[in-house]
Structure formats: structure tokens, C-alpha cells
Structure 1
Amino acid sequence: MQSASSPRPDADVFDSPYAWWRLAVTLAIATVGNAGMWAIVVVMPAVQAEFGVDRADASLPYVATMLGFALGNLLIGRAVDRVGITPALIGAAGLIAVSTAAAAASPSVGVLIALQFAIGLGTAAGFGPLIADLSLWFVRRRGIAVAIAASGNYLAGVVWPVLLRGVLEEDGWRAAYLVLAVASVVVVVPLALLLRRRLPVDALTGAPGVGPAGAVADAGMSHRALAWLLALAGVACCVAMSMPQVHIVALCVDLGFGPAVGAEMLSLMLLAGVASRIGFGLLADRLGGVRTVLIGSGLQALALFLYLPANGMVSLYVVSLIFGLAQGGIVPGYAIIVREFMPAREAGARVGFVMMATILGMGLGGWLSGVIFDVTGSYQLAFLNGIGWNALNIAILTFLWMRGRGVGRAVAA
């Protein structure tokens, strides 16, 4: 006999109290599991100073993290479709712990780059695959549920720079990495064991919410074509998104404000991103994924323009807040689009593929911004570069919206 807390193999499992409890556990895992992604951003100035490299080379460990993160979203997403989320999370926690501890002893930037790739690979389990798993348990409130789960990625960027600030100032970035290595195992593994339950096969096969019948046909493209188009949109939006997120600390150092101020701006940006993700999640439940992402992308472009004249501490705090509020809902929106248009049994692989593309965009944008800075001695052209990529993203989302207006109206209803 099933216990009262066990999910039932029928429609009652969706949006159930168990689903919301599962969301709470998912959020806690994501907040710890994504710490390594943001740690490299915070320590970038210290790494550059210690190893005596230029800004572009100092950005390469972040790029390696994003490449590993991207590949992990694809590979781990596929694995989750077959074996479930718990084994994936436990394996990833072990990989993060070993890689982060080894990174703390890196003798050169080259070694750090290789280890950051492994850190990114493990960190991926706490993003796309975890979001895809959570999305299976919701239908009517999928937008807000996915948004909250995705907020764990930003909460990691809010919480960990603050928690590690004392360690960074007193003992340096290597000691901070050792703290993260321990936390990844001590926190993630026990929480992962709470997610062992899986949806029954009959519930998964008949899971509603893929989108109205014929949604993809109405858009005039196959699942594969739609996935590739969403991937291109994801690359474009995240090249733009990466400029402030990756280089705000370095920008503050260049302006004489110091890394601590830059870390605070990053935390403010990401905290605003959490609020943004929740707000856009509520919006997605009413408007659907395509229109929600399109709105967010337009607001992100506006925020990037505001960075161009900002060169004072107060103005940068204000614009960073605006940027966080503008862009937070974009990436989770892609997961919602996938779940609206594609079968539940493919959720891990499809969401993982699109998330991989967004992360590749972050890595590409982080590196391009460093190169542009080294060539020009300024971030002005880097912001303009981001605005151009953002325009491409808007064009793709507008195309999808125009092709699938009927679907969008049906989802909104």
C-alpha cells in the first residue's frame, strides 16, 4: 500500500502538495550545487593578479566552466530521462567536490582551466536536468515552479559571495574553494536522496501540458528544428547577458571601486534576478513561454543600453538592479517553451540541449567581452556587442511568436 505522502499514478500528482515539497528541496539543492559557477566570477581579479595574465586569459577559467556546464546539461539531462535525478546529483556532487578541492591547489591558469571544466560539468546537474525533473511534476503552475527552481542558480550567486567574503579576504580564493568542496557533498547528497521518487510511467506518458494538439505543426517545424532555433536564440541572449554578469567585478576594479563593491553589485543583480524569475514565471503561466521570453529579452536590451553612460558607483548599483530585474526570466522561459511544445518523456534531453546552448552563449560572451576590453581598453564596445546579439535573440523570438500566435493565445487562455 502506498503511503499518504507517495505520489499517486494519476493526474492528482501534478501540482500536488508533494510536488511543491519537491520544489523546495530542488531549490535548496540548486542554491548549493550552482555555487562553483559564480565562485570563479568573484575570484577572477585575484586569479589574474596571482598568475599575472591579461583580462582575456583570466576569463578563460570562466569560459571552461561554462563549456563544462553546457556539456553537462546535455549529457546529464539525457541520463536523468533514463535513471532519474538522484543518481545524477550524487555523482555530480562528488565530481564537484574533487574538482574544486584540486582547483584550490592549481599551480597555473592552465590547470585551473581544466579543473573549472570539470566543476562546470558537475554543476550542470543542479540546473537544466534538475529543472527538467521538477517541470514534470507541474502543469497548471509549471511557469512559476520552473522559475523558482531556476532561481536557485541565481541564489547561489547571491548567497555564496557573501558567505565566502570573510574567507576570501582573510585566506584567499584557494581556501574559499575548499569550503565549496566540502559543502557540495555535505549538503547536496542528503538532499538528493529525498528526490528518489519518480513519476509512474503511466503518469509520465500521459502528462499534460505539452501544448495544444498540433502546436509544433502550427509553427511549421519539427521538434528538432524548434530545438535548434531555441538554441540559437539562447546563445544570442546569453552572449548579451554575460557582459554584466561576468565582468561587473572586473569593471568595478578598473574604476577603482574594488572587488568587494563589484561582488555586491553582482549579488544585487542576481537577487533582482530571483525576483525577476518569479515574476516572469507567473507571467508565463498566463502568456506562455514564447511571449514571456520575448518581453524579457526586450527589457534586457534596454538595461544594456543603460550601462553605456554609467560609470559612477551609485549609477552602476542602480543599473545592475535594473538589469537583474529585466533578464532574470529569460533562461527559465526556454525550459517552459520546451515543455509546452515537446513530449514529457524527452524533457531532460530537450531542456538540457537548449540550456547547453544558453550556457555556451554565456561562455562565448564572457570571453568576447574580455577580448574586446583587451583591444579597446574599455567595456563600451563590449556592451554594444551584447546589444547586437540581443537584437538577434529578439528577432528569433518574434519569428516564433508570429508563427505560433494561435498556440500562444491557447496557452494564455
Structure 2
Amino acid sequence: MEAQASAGERKLGGRVDSREAWLIAIAALIVPSISFGATYIVIVALKPIAADLGGYRSIPAAAASLAMLGTGVGGLAMGWLAERIGTRLTVMMGAVMMCAGLILSSGGEVWQLYLGHGLLVGFLGNGAINAPLYVYITRWFERRRGTALALIASGQYVAGAVWPSLFERAIAAYGWRQTMIGFGVLVALLIVPLAALALKPPPASPDIRTATGPRGQPDRVLDLPAGTVFALLAVASFLCCVPMAMPTAHLIALCGDLGLQANTGALMLSVLLSCAFISRQFWGWLSDRIGGLMTLLLGSLAQATAIIAFVFTQDEAGLFAVAAVFGLGFSGLIPAYILTARQLFPAHQASWRMPALLLTGMSGMAAGSWLAGMIYDYAGFYAPAFATGFAFNLANLLIIGNLVLLGRRTMLRTARAA
């Protein structure tokens, strides 16, 4: 297993929290900054793809959902594979599969779009990149783990800040099919050599339980069965990611419906994701100080506040402001789930618990993107979709709030016993 690297590999890997660890974290940030660009093409080209493939926005929205769902499901399988062949090889394989998926998706048939995005871009592509990188980077850090997770998790937002405006220009000049092909080739040419050179075997991780249940009860977490706590985290991850995906996947189309130009919508999405990148570093810093669960509670409150604002905002300036606030609010959630799992459960379980949480999160994002498209097709406007997202967010707050209370009670009980 990668966590139990040989002595030679440990020597190559260096020490946790070292300068080398941060250089590897930067390389791990660059990889998803490129790879997650693939999922934004169908978002930027949602209207022209829908026009070419039957007129229904739920078709490209479903392709985006399949890519997210495939990334989550693939993370479980690829997390297992990375433990056996190393993260470097799974990332290289993922880049090649993503290239093939975008080429297939450009074929012009609905089934090609779905298969290319669900299987190749998602399951075998980002699935081989995203979850393995999360597990990999936690083995390079101990004291600054939350900050490091926030950094590499920002890759998706770097992709969102950089690529949509470029895709908008490329689609206008060459069409969405040629844009997919060109970007697929670029992904393979950039990620394969970067992974080969930068992703070294990690140092060994001691299997230390932190923030678990009372001493002598290794199967209990927060004074509950460990499986119950993990199931609650998984459900909460799904619930928070449904509303998270709605503005991201449909913001450009919303702008078009309001009479704004396509480049304005692409710029607005870039602003949203640029704000997410900047604030994610703050959330990572904060999570190292207050813990993963409390960060989840604060981030979920911020996301709920922002998504309900989309229901009542119709003008360009207001949408730019709400998009920025949404980006600032929701960006700390995904790495906080990963950090919470690492804090509550043993290190040797990271290779399946982290991908499982990413799967439920990606499933929520897939459901949110598709659900917003379906509600729009039924209602003819986006306000009901955002209101539905707000309801999902409230359910998430109920679960996380109770877990935070359980955590505080457990700490008080432990302090009194000591």
C-alpha cells in the first residue's frame, strides 16, 4: 500500500510538513486546475449543445452531472487502485482517459456525450485524479493538513476561474466540438509529464486515532457508533452539494435568460470561482484552528445565505455580488469533510472513507446540476430551483449542527473524566 511505502520510497518522499511537501502540494493543485476544466465545457456551452442535441437543457446538464457522479464513483475504485500502484500512475491514467472522453463527447450524439463524460471524463478521468490526490496529500501533512487540503481542493476553482472565459471564446470561434477535442489533447500533454515528475511516493503515516470516541471504545466516534457518524457525514455531504452545484452549473444560462451576453455569464462564473479559490485558503487556515466539524457548520450557513439570494436577484450588478458571496461562502465545505474524516477516523481507513465522502458529495453535485435543469424545463425559470437548493441546505445544517453538539458534549464528558 502507498501509505506503507518501502524504506526507499520513504526516503524519496521526504518529511511531513516540509518544504518538499509544499512543493508537492503545489503540483497537486496544478493537476485538478487543468483536469476540472473538462467539466466546464458543457456548462459554458450548455445552450449551444442543447440546441444541437434536441433543445433540452437537461441533456448537457445531465452530462455535467454524469461527469460529477463518475468522478465520485470512480474515486472509490481509483482510491483502491492508487493504494496498489501509486497515485502518480492513477493520475497519469486519468489524464489519458479524460482526453479520450472529450474526443468521444464531441461526436455529436447524446449517447457519446453521456458515455464520454460519465465513464471517461468522470469515472476513469477525474475519478483517478481527484480522490487519490486528497488521500495522497494528507500523508504529506500533519499540523497544516487543513490548509494543504484547502489548497489542492482549490484546483476546481482555479479551473473555473481560468477556463470558462477561454472556452467561451473558443466555442464562439471553433464550436463546442472542436473545443472539446483541443482541450482533451491539452489535458494529456500537461498532466502526464507533471505527474510523472512531481508526484513522489509519500512518507509513511502512523495510524493514530484523533478526536475519536472515549478511550477503550475504538468503534465509537462522538459517543456514537462509528458507522452512524460516518453515515451522517455522508448524507450531509450529499445534502450540501445539491445546492452547491446549482449556481455553478446554471449561472451562464441564467444570465442568458436575463438578456446578458454569454461573455458576461462566463465572467460571472469566473468571479464566483475566483472568490471561492481565495476564500478556500481562509477556510483551510480556520479549519486547522477550530476543526473540520465547526468549519462545516459555518460554511453551510454561508452557503444557505447566498443561495437564497439567487431567488431574489435579477439584475447584472446584483448577480455579480451574489455570485461573489456564494463563492466566498461555500468553498470551505469539501476539504472540511475530508479533514473531518481524517480527524475522526483512523489513518488506514482514509483510502476508502475519503473517496466515499467525495462520492456522496459528487453525487449531490450531480443531482443538483440535473435537478436545476429539470426544474427549469418544467417551470421556465430558475427561482424554484434555487429555492429547492435552499431546502436541501437547511437539512444539511440540521445534521451538522447536531454533530457539532455531540462533539462538544463528548469533549466536556472527557474533560470531566480527566
- Scaled by the length of structure 2, the TM-score of the pair is 0.91
Distance 1:346 1:7, change over 3 A: same
* Structure 1 counterpart of 2:36, from 34, 37, 46: 34
* 8 Å Cα contact 1:85-1:195 kept in structure 2: no
* Structure 1 counterpart of 2:45, from 43, 46, 57: 43
RMSD: 2.1
Instruction: Give the 5 Å matches for 1:160-309.
Output: 160-200=163-203, 203-204=204-205, 206=206, 208=208, 210-212=209-211, 214=213, 217-309=220-312
CA offset at residue 43 of structure 1? 1.4
* 8 Å Cα contact 2:105-2:112 kept in structure 1: yes
Q: Per-residue CA shift, 1:119-140, capped at 9, x if unaligned?
A: 1121123322211210111111
In structure 2, C-alpha distance between the alignment counterparts of 1:325 and 1:14, rounded to whole Å: 29
* 8 Å Cα contact 1:290-1:408 kept in structure 2: no
Corresponding residue SS for 2:55: coil
* Structure 1 counterpart of 2:356, from 347, 353, 358: 353
In structure 1, C-alpha distance between the alignment counterparts of 2:345 and 2:197, rounded to whole Å: 27
In structure 1, C-alpha distance between the alignment counterparts of 2:62 and 2:321, rounded to whole Å: 29
In structure 2, C-alpha distance between the alignment counterparts of 1:310 and 1:178, rounded to whole Å: 36
* 8 Å Cα contact 1:81-1:347 kept in structure 2: no
1:342 maps onto 2:336 in alignment? no
Distance 1:230 1:212, change over 3 A: closer
Q: Match for residue 85 of structure 2?
A: 83
CA offset at residue 280 of structure 1? 0.3
CA offset at residue 278 of structure 1? 0.6
Q: Per-residue CA shift, 1:340-367, capped at 9, x if unaligned?
A: 1122222221110100100100111111
* 8 Å Cα contact 2:33-2:155 kept in structure 1: yes
The residue identity in structure 2 corresponding to 1:88 is T
Corresponding residue SS for 1:53: coil
Instruction: Give the 5 Å matches for 1:97-112.
Output: 97-104=99-106, 106-112=107-113
Q: Per-residue CA shift, 1:266-299, capped at 9, x if unaligned?
A: 1111111111211100000000000001100001
In structure 2, C-alpha distance between the alignment counterparts of 1:3 and 1:213, rounded to whole Å: 30
Q: Match for residue 120 of structure 1?
A: 122
Q: Per-residue CA shift, 1:89-116, capped at 9, x if unaligned?
A: 1111111111111222x23223211111
* Structure 1 counterpart of 2:408, from 401, 405, 412: 405
Corresponding residue SS for 2:173: helix
In structure 1, C-alpha distance between the alignment counterparts of 2:410 and 2:154, rounded to whole Å: 27
1:6 maps onto 2:12 in alignment? yes
CA offset at residue 213 of structure 1? 5.4
- Scaled by the length of structure 1, the TM-score of the pair is 0.92
Distance 1:16 1:373, change over 3 A: same
CA offset at residue 223 of structure 1? 3.7
Q: Per-residue CA shift, 1:226-261, capped at 9, x if unaligned?
A: 322211101100111111111101111111113221
Between 287-296 and 178-187, the greater mean CA deviation after superposition: 178-187
The residue identity in structure 2 corresponding to 1:6 is L
* 8 Å Cα contact 1:81-1:345 kept in structure 2: no
In structure 2, C-alpha distance between the alignment counterparts of 1:4 and 1:345, rounded to whole Å: 17
Distance 1:212 1:234, change over 3 A: closer
* 8 Å Cα contact 2:242-2:389 kept in structure 1: yes
In structure 1, C-alpha distance between the alignment counterparts of 2:81 and 2:408, rounded to whole Å: 34
CA offset at residue 264 of structure 1? 1.1
Q: Match for residue 59 of structure 1?
A: 61
In structure 2, C-alpha distance between the alignment counterparts of 1:356 and 1:212, rounded to whole Å: 24
1:382 maps onto 2:385 in alignment? yes
Distance 1:407 1:282, change over 3 A: farther
The residue identity in structure 2 corresponding to 1:353 is A
Between 73-82 and 281-290, the greater mean CA deviation after superposition: 73-82
1:365 maps onto 2:365 in alignment? no
* 8 Å Cα contact 2:287-2:295 kept in structure 1: yes
Tell me the matched-pair count.
401
In structure 1, C-alpha distance between the alignment counterparts of 2:197 and 2:348, rounded to whole Å: 22
Q: Per-residue CA shift, 1:308-346, capped at 9, x if unaligned?
A: 221011110110000000100011110101111122222
CA offset at residue 218 of structure 1? 4.7
Distance 1:4 1:322, change over 3 A: same
- Which runs of 5 or more residues in structure 1 are unaligned? none
Q: Identity over the aligned pairs, expressed in percent?
A: 31
Distance 1:86 1:143, change over 3 A: same
In structure 2, C-alpha distance between the alignment counterparts of 1:179 and 1:406, rounded to whole Å: 55
Q: Per-residue CA shift, 1:66-102, capped at 9, x if unaligned?
A: 2211211221122222322011111111111111112
* 8 Å Cα contact 1:34-1:127 kept in structure 2: no
Distance 1:173 1:343, change over 3 A: same
Distance 1:164 1:296, change over 3 A: same
Q: Match for residue 153 of structure 1?
A: 156
- Which runs of 5 or more residues in structure 2 are unaligned? 1-6
